[in-house]
Copies of this chain bind each other. A is one copy, B any other.
Amino acid sequence: MAVTAGTAGTGDPSANYGGHSADGPTVSEIGEAATIAAIREAAPSEVNGDDAAVLDPAPPNSRDIATTDVLVDGEHFRLDWSTPYEVGVKAVSQNFADIQAMGGRPTAVLMSLSAPADLPVGIVSDIARGISATAAPWGVELVGGDVVTSRQLIVAVTAIGVLAGPDPALTVDAARPGHAVVASGVIGHSAAGLALLNYYGSREAVPDNPVLQDLVSRHCAPRLIVGRGSVGRAAGMSAMTDNSDGLIRDLTTVARRSEVIIDLDGAALTPDAQLYYAAEITGDDPWEWVLSGGEDHTLLGTTDKEPPAGYRIIGEVKDAGDATKFGELADPVTVDGQRPLYVSGWNSL
């Protein structure tokens, strides 16, 4: 039931959806049913299409995991920088990273799409295709969703996952002194990609160079390594999170919640050749990308065992003494024993 007639949202008249609006009808022209049909065609699932989705039975002794993230046009993506397909990839990747960071594996995805009335339905289909393609390697489908009219394009994705067996989840409060800090995946590449987009001003202006194209792609469509979270849990890791807000910031959460100090190894974090190459172009310090850049969705964890396959050691967990108990530890993450050069990361508000 509409609250009032005639309040249907319309897109910002200046928005051309990054040139993706070239042809095809808009969501308001084809209506709700046809838009949902387009999504289901782009991201097929047998269990989608009733009041709610009924998922496959969970393994015995399992617990569900759930997380949700929102991507707002102009805030978290720009359609002149990212393709709609990449927006779908990003939405799934950041949610699945959170599922992985608990040591689990994803089992289902739902999408709530708030779309301006003049949004071409092809963009909706491409977002759904990106979601479907990113979820597929995990055996996961887009099982449900909602589509509404709004002034701004907003993609809210919820992921459900499973933690099989009785072992504990990998929480941010489980780092203990003596544990190694480990990481699986690149750090700083998403931030470098963003800096390149800002430097060149548009996606098209980024030179056709594999290093630069890869960094930009890392920003627009972060890539996860399938199953790496479950591997970490099976290998007995203690704490886990992912690099979403920035390396120092995310590890600060782990340190504070675990009441420990985390000392990172500068040598292990040294920016790689790709980052130095990009930094020479943009004039940035690649260390800033490594320390405060987020959105790589690289898994960061701690362990008192050998690092699991694919993880490398980047630091160690130390005793905080009584400092955390009295709230004295403003900066519980250090690099080679010193306060990091760059700390601040992403803040949504």
Q: Which A residues lie at the B interface, using CB under 8 A?
A: 1-4, 7-9, 27-28, 30-33, 35, 50-58, 60-70, 72, 74-78, 81, 97-99, 101-102, 104, 107-108, 110-115, 117, 143-152, 154, 156, 158-161, 163, 169, 171-173, 190-191, 194, 198, 219, 240-242, 246, 293-295, 345-349
Contact = CB atoms under 8 A, between A and B. Distances in A.
Residue among A149, A158, A194 with most chain B CB within 10 A: A158
A60 B62 CA distance: 10
B68 A144 contact: yes
Contacts of A69: 112, 146
A76 B101 CA distance: 35
B150 A75 contact: yes
Contacts of A62: 57-58
Contacts of A219: 1
A75 B148 contact: yes
A135 to B, nearest CB: 14
B1 A98 contact: no
Contact of A347 (B32, B104, B346): B32
A4 B97 CA distance: 23
A290 to B, nearest CB: 13
A221 to B, nearest CB: 14
A113 to B, nearest CB: 8
A151 B152 CA distance: 7
A345 B114 CA distance: 20
A53 B102 CA distance: 8
Contact of A169 (B8, B54, B150): B54
Chain A binding surface, main DSSP class: mixed
A148 B76 contact: yes
A329 B54 CA distance: 28
14 contacts: A1-B293, A3-B78, A7-B75, A32-B347, A50-B172, A53-B65, A55-B63, A66-B160, A68-B112, A72-B149, A75-B148, A112-B158, A114-B154, A148-B349
Given A58-B62, A69-B146, A147-B349, 6 more contacts: A1-B246, A1-B345, A27-B349, A64-B108, A68-B110, A112-B156
A98 B52 contact: yes
B75 A53 contact: no
Contacts of A7: 74-75
A348 B148 contact: yes
Given A1-B194, A294-B1, A349 B149 contact: yes
Contact of A160 (B72, B160, B345): B160
Contacts of A9: 72, 74-75, 152
Nearest to A289: B1
A194 B199 CA distance: 51
Contacts of A115: 349
A148 B154 CA distance: 10
Contacts of A104: 52, 54
A144 B55 contact: no
